[in-house]
Structure 1
Amino acid sequence: MSDDVETTTVSISTDDDTTDEVTIPSGLIDLVAEGDQTDAETIGDVALLSFASRAHHLVHHGQGADEDLEAQEARIMDLFEERFGVTYGEATGHQH
């Protein structure tokens, strides 16, 4: 049955010229899209949210973060706010 679900494959490329692909059920992309977002914009939003969430967890709920990790978390939070127009805490209701 799961083979009957339509999927979307997205290519990812980085500054160091490496690439990867990820395949996601198309219905999930549609489910989390806001307004008339493209698939790429929606997946970009989810990727940024995921990295911000993971960084937050490592720094605030992990087993000790060093200065470098704290700087990485601060930077992803700045990028999050630039993209979404609200802080991570405002978006998630999870603030420290």
Structure 2
Amino acid sequence: MSDVETVTVSIDADDSTDEVTLPAGLMDLVAEGDQTAAETVGDVTLLSFASRAHHVVHHGDGADEDLEAQEERIMELFEERFGVTFGEATGHQH
């Protein structure tokens, strides 16, 4: 058994709830400044969805209009949250 301290974050959606447990030190490493655990997980979640959407649309086997619209929307949400575009944040631009 590991003696690494963990943090559990609850996730509530419209019709379900889940929890994720993460190493506290990793949470501290990823956090920006004095972010809370919830804010840190929110940032990482949005980054992950944006990255995955980008990959599927731009590096996958092709995307239909609906998927392209989903990717466009997540990129808008990304920019609203972080104040920079996905390309600016990651250095990966097309």
TM-score band w.r.t. shorter chain: over 0.9
Structure 1 distance, partners of 2:27, 2:46, is 15
Q: What whole-Å deviation, never above 9, does each CA across 1:1-53 have from its counterpart, x for those lacking one?
A: 6x2111111110112x2111111111111001111111110110000000000
Tell me the amino acid that sits aligned with residue 87 of structure 1. T
In the other structure, the counterpart of 1:13 is 12
* Runs of 4+ more than 2 Å apart: none
Identity of aligned residues (%): 83
User: 54, 67, 82: which is aligned to 1:56?
Assistant: 54
Unaligned residue ranges in structure 1 (runs of 5+) = none
Structure 2 distance, partners of 1:14, 1:71, is 22
In the other structure, the counterpart of 2:29 is 31
In the other structure, the counterpart of 1:83 is 81
Structure 1 distance, partners of 2:82, 2:31, is 13
- Number of positions where the alignment pairs a residue of Structure 1 with one of Structure 2: 94
Structure 2 distance, partners of 1:13, 1:25, is 21
Unaligned residue ranges in structure 2 (runs of 5+) = none
Tell me the amino acid that sits aligned with residue 19 of structure 1. T
TM-score calculated relative to the size of structure 2: 0.97
RMSD: 0.8
